[in-house]
Amino acid sequence: MDLKKRERVLLFAAVICLGGWTGDRVVLSPLVKLWKQRSQKITEIKRSLNKGRALIARESDLREQWQEMKRHSLPAEVSVAENQVLQSLSRWSQESRLGVTSLKPRWTQEGQDHMKMECRAATQGRIEAVARFLYDLERDPLALRVEQIEMAARDDNGRDLTLDVRFTGLLLTGEKQ
């Protein structure tokens, strides 16, 4: 093979390799990356669409649940709501025979259309009383939620306990009630 012909073949091969490498970096790799991104986006949109369809299918159940929650929310007046929670707390402690040593209610404005009443109660009693108190608190129809529970034994057997419980109540205000 003649030297000029060999240089041309090598130059041609180098140009083809450089063209292939440039084509991969400039055209093929960005297209593959774009394809993967669009596939992920399509999957995300399909998941969102399925979730939306499921919500539409459950609309009547969700609306019924919301109406039930609104019925059991605390009364619109702060003083009446606080009195209702305190009466319920008194009823739970009497039914369970649990002694309430301290109670600290506090109101917080969560949004324009609702407030939360946070109560911290320190109690003491037998393990059965603590279990009954917590059961009554959870089963009450008021819109209450247990946020935090701390228990500690007061004796070596663990039958006498102190219970510190923090729970919140929902009060809907404004037109959305």
Q: Which of 16-20, 71-75, 77-81 has the highest mean pLDDT?
A: 16-20
Closest CA to 142 of 124, 108, 117: 117
pLDDT one-digit tens code per residue, 116-128: 889 999 999 998 9
Q: How far is CA 92 from CA 95, 140, 149, in A?
A: 5, 9, 16
The count of domains in the chain is 2
Looking at the domain assignment, is residue 63 inside a domain? Answer: no
Beta bridge partners of 115: 109, 171
The chain-wide mean pLDDT, for the chain, equals 86
Has residue 66 been placed in a domain?
no
Q: Does one domain contain both 42 and 92? A: no
Per residue in 127-158, is it b (16+ CB within 10 Å) or e — as a string?
Answer: eebbebbbebbeebebbbeeeeeeeeeeeeee
Same domain, 81 and 53: no
Task: Based on the fold, state whether residues 86 and 43 are members of the same structural domain.
Answer: no
* Helix, strand, or coil (residue 176): coil
Task: Summarize the confidence of residues 36-46 as an average pLDDT.
Answer: 95
Q: Does residue 168 sit within a domain?
A: yes
Give 81 or 111, the one with higher predicted confidence: 81
Do both 52 and 78 map to the same domain? no
- Domain assignment of residue 41, given as a range: 3-57
Q: Could you tell me if residue 65 is inside a domain?
A: no
Work out the percent of the chain whose per-residue pLDDT is above 90: 31
**Mean pLDDT, range 52-72, rounded to an integer:** 87
Q: Which residue has the tokens 């998941």?
A: 47
Question: Is residue 69 within 8 Å of 176, Cβ to Cβ?
Answer: no
The encoded tokens of residue 50 equal 């399925």
41 and 107 in one domain?
no
Helices of type H across the chain: 3-23, 29-57, 59-71, 78-96, 127-139
Strands 144-153 and 160-172: antiparallel
Q: Are strands 99-109 and 160-172 parallel, antiparallel or unpaired?
A: unpaired
Angle at 76 between CA 121 and CA 104, to 5 degrees: 15
Dihedral sign computed on CA atoms, order 55, 59, 62, 63 = positive
Residues 95 and 154 in one domain: yes
Neighbours of 164 (CB within 10 A): 16
